[in-house]
Amino acid sequence: MRRASTVALAALSLSGCQRGCLTEWLRERSGEGRGGTAAQSLPLDRFDCPDGWLRCHGGVAEASMLGSVAANCAATPDHPAACECPYRAVARCLRGCAAEDVIVEGAPDEASRTCNGGGAAALAVPAPVDAGPAACAGEIARFRCEHAIVFACAAAGAVAVSECVSGCYREGEELDDPAVDVRGATALLCRAIRPTLEP
């Protein structure tokens, strides 16, 4: 009986709320309500930038940093990267980028995998004819590394394109960036077997 009365009381109090109560509550919390000016931004107007991403940009291996970016920001000629998540330079690549601005997962000490030459020796090894099938997990995946084989993903099935001499960097890792070709995918997905960063 007590539970039923609590539910009934909650229903009555909710029915008394006018249309737009949530909007009014949010405005009050942001400082916009009742003639005030916005004292702070709502958390809904930003998106988070995680750490744990790596990329190579202009021959420099970079690692992402925690942060956030305004959802409605606009890049300008003076600040073209104003709307991008923040990255920090880790090291300069000896032979340039494996694939420019392609993001892979990893810690800063793994940044060399974004450099040209990270898995370059694997390019000399064609994929074995008897390479087993692989299923690309993501619908938009273009390449996948599994059991030391780099596969090109296609609707009809995955096709082996190269073999990693030292294995996959991460078993089952996939790339979905349309700018990545077979050479770039091999360099990014295969374990590095020689130095790729400047000392």
The residue with greater pLDDT, 192 or 92, is 92
Q: Check: pTM over 0.75? Answer yes or no.
A: no
Ranges 2-11, 60-69, 99-108: which has the least confidence? 2-11
> Lowest mean pLDDT: which of 31-35, 125-129, 176-180?
31-35
pLDDT for position 89:
93
13 HSE (CA, 13 A, CB side): 6
Task: Spell out the domain ranges in the chain.
Answer: 18-44, 50-189
- Reported confidence tier of residue 56, pLDDT bands at 50, 70, 90: very high
Question: Which of 68-82, 128-142, 176-190 is predicted with the least confidence, judged by mean pLDDT?
Answer: 128-142
Q: Mean of the pLDDT values across residues 56-78? A: 88
Report the distance separating Cα 141 and Cα 22, nearest Å: 40
The pLDDT of residue 160 is 86
Share of the chain above pLDDT 90, in %: 19
Question: Rounded CA gap, 183 and 120, in Å?
Answer: 8
